[in-house]
Amino acid sequence: MDSQLPIKQSFTKESLKKKFRLSEFLAEKIISSIAFLSIAIIFLIFIFVFKESLPLFSLGSDAKAKTEAQVTTANKSESYGASSEELKPESYGADTAEDLKPESYGTETTEELKPETYGSETAAKDDLKPESYGDTPKEDLSVAPAGEMMNAESQNKEGSDKTWSTFFSTEWVPVSDNPRFGLIGLLIGTLKVTIIAMLIAGPLAVLAALFTSCFASKRIKEIIKPIIEMLAAFPSVVIGFFALMVLASFFQDVFGYDSRLNAFIGGVAMALAAIPIIYTISEDALASVPKTYTEASLALGASKWQTAFFVVLPAATPGIFAALLLGVGRVFGETMIALMATGNAALLSANPFESVRTFAATIGSEMAETVFGETHYSVLFFIGSLLFIFSFALNAVAEFYVKGKLLKKFQGK
């Protein structure tokens, strides 16, 4: 009897309720619009990383692209004014850039190798220079009427023409009279490190996950899992530092190769960074295989390891595949370890014990030295957008493949 009374009261207060609903509505809208921001961030990241690389796309042949580029260059110069051009080098180069240059290029490995790459190219460079520079004034004249921005713009365009053609070469010489941005060398370096890292991290992490989910007792599992996840808490700069200071010397003593910092060291160190990711995700995938599968297998007389190897592991393949993909994504974009442990020389060879330079490390080490708006700057942002697209695609594949396949498998559809 008592309980019915308050309910009736609240029904009579209709007006009050409506007021509440308005604030409720507002709260909900605010919350969902903040949630929307996380989608917006992804778009913003792509747009702003890609935007800075746009000058590269201002090729003379495409009129539309040209106007687009003009708009962007016009906007830029407007917003940053004349003062920023004078100030920019200062702000970036105050203490870091000057200190960076000599050291990062002057490790033992590069010193030996640089003369070679420069020596072989000098003749070609000399041939190219007068030609390419001779073209510029002509181009300047032909596009001159478009406005006062032409000087900067034509520079960009001339740069972009040359830049695109050098993308598919193998040399990465961004700072010279005749800069070449050979992405192939960087790509091969990145792939080399990624493959080495995945060859080490993949099997190790998946086997460890298999042990924890199939063979370990509950108590051991509770010890192992947090310890391996602790590895994920190691900052990459710490792993890079360890590789640089300890691993590099150790492996040099063992294998006796020439360059102390190389793709192999980088790969080993990056494997350490990738192991916790691959481990956690594949452990989840293995644990989510329905109990009925293992019980059926055991009931049929299969032993524990046969069940684990022939039933659980195949059933969890999509999840493990996704784990490996995400591991690849992690290694591909890993910056600090690549900066510290791979030697940072863009060499073209199949030897895993040679120094390499990865995409991410290139951005990390050279961004501080570039001038805003330069071709080099745009190229670095272009590499950044490539990295972004790549990791986005990997994540999408991992996500949708796993969702589709796993659901199909376990729900018997």
Partner 1 sequence: MDKVINESENHFFSGKKSTSEIKGKIFIGITQLAVILIIAILFIILGIIIYQGRTKFSWEFISTFPTNGMTEGGIFPALIGTFILVIVMSIAAVPFGTITALYLTEYASENSKFAAAVRFSVRTLAVVPSIIFGLFGLGFFIQFLGAGADTVFNDGQLRWGQPNILWASLTMSLLTLPVIIVSVEESLKTIPRELREASLALGATKWQTIKKVVLPGSVSGIMTGTILAVSRGAGEVAPILFTGAAYYLATLPGSLSDQFMNLGYHVYIMSTQSSDVEKTMPIQFATTLVLLILTLSLNVVAVIIRSRIRRKAK
Burial of 410 (0-12, 13-18, 19+ CB in 10 A): middle
Residues 6+ apart with CB under 8 A from 44: none
Choosing from 318, 333, 343, 352, the residue that interacts with partner 1 (CB under 8 A) is 333
Supply 27's token pair.
């709260």
**How far is Cα 152 from Cα 136, in angstroms, rounded to an integer?**
12
Question: Minimum Å distance from CB 100 to partner 1?
Answer: 6
Nearer to partner 1, 245 or 407 (CB): 245
Choosing from 399, 404, 407, 408, the residue that interacts with partner 1 (CB under 8 A) is 399
Subset of residues 28 to 87 that bind partner 1, contact rule: CB under 8 A: 28, 30-32, 34-39, 41-42, 44-45, 48-49, 51-52, 79-81, 83-84, 87
Stretch binding partner 1 (CB under 8 A), from 119-127, 181-189, 303-311, 348-356: 303-311
Choosing from 196, 248, 360, 406, the residue that interacts with partner 1 (CB under 8 A) is 360
Choosing from 172, 264, 321, 332, the residue that interacts with partner 1 (CB under 8 A) is 332
Our finding on whether 314 is near partner 1 (CB under 8 A) is: no
Nearer to partner 1, 80 or 353 (CB): 80
Our finding on whether 170 is near partner 1 (CB under 8 A) is: no
Subset of residues 220 to 249 that bind partner 1, contact rule: CB under 8 A: 224, 226-231, 233-242, 244-246
Stretch binding partner 1 (CB under 8 A), from 114-122, 147-155, 167-175, 299-307: 299-307
Our finding on whether 260 is near partner 1 (CB under 8 A) is: no
Nearer to partner 1, 242 or 293 (CB): 242
Our finding on whether 371 is near partner 1 (CB under 8 A) is: no
The site string for partner 1 over 261-290 (x = CB under 8 A, - otherwise) reads -----------x--x---x-----------
Residues 6+ apart with CB under 8 A from 345: 107, 109, 110, 113, 354, 355, 356, 357
315 to each of 123, 216, 412, how far by Cα in Å? 59, 19, 12
Nearer to partner 1, 188 or 339 (CB): 339
Nearer to partner 1, 77 or 132 (CB): 77
Tell which residue, 364, 59, 53, 63, has the closest CA to residue 236: 364
255 to each of 252, 262, 342, 383, how far by Cα in Å? 5, 12, 16, 33
**How far is Cα 158 from Cα 139, in angstroms, rounded to an integer?**
8
Stretch binding partner 1 (CB under 8 A), from 55-63, 116-124, 281-289, 361-369: 361-369
- DSSP code, position 373: T
Nearer to partner 1, 158 or 196 (CB): 196
The beta strand positions in 148-275, using DSSP E, are: 172-173, 180-181
Question: Minimum Å distance from CB 49 to partner 1?
Answer: 5
Tell which residue, 280, 88, 113, has the closest CA to residue 201: 280
Choosing from 363, 379, 402, 406, the residue that interacts with partner 1 (CB under 8 A) is 363
Subset of residues 174 to 193 that bind partner 1, contact rule: CB under 8 A: none
Stretch binding partner 1 (CB under 8 A), from 147-155, 157-165, 304-312, 345-353: 304-312
Choosing from 56, 336, 345, 402, the residue that interacts with partner 1 (CB under 8 A) is 336
State phi, psi for 208 to the nearest 5 degrees.
-65, -40
Other beta carbons less than 10 A from residue 139's beta carbon: 16
Nearer to partner 1, 353 or 390 (CB): 390
Tell which residue, 370, 339, 360, 390, has the closest CA to residue 55: 370
**How far is Cα 224 from Cα 230, in angstroms, rounded to an integer?**
10
**How far is Cα 24 from Cα 16, in angstroms, rounded to an integer?**
12
- DSSP code, position 289: S
Helix (H, G, I), strand (E, B) or coil at 123: helix
Our finding on whether 123 is near partner 1 (CB under 8 A) is: no
Question: Minimum Å distance from CB 121 to partner 1?
Answer: 27
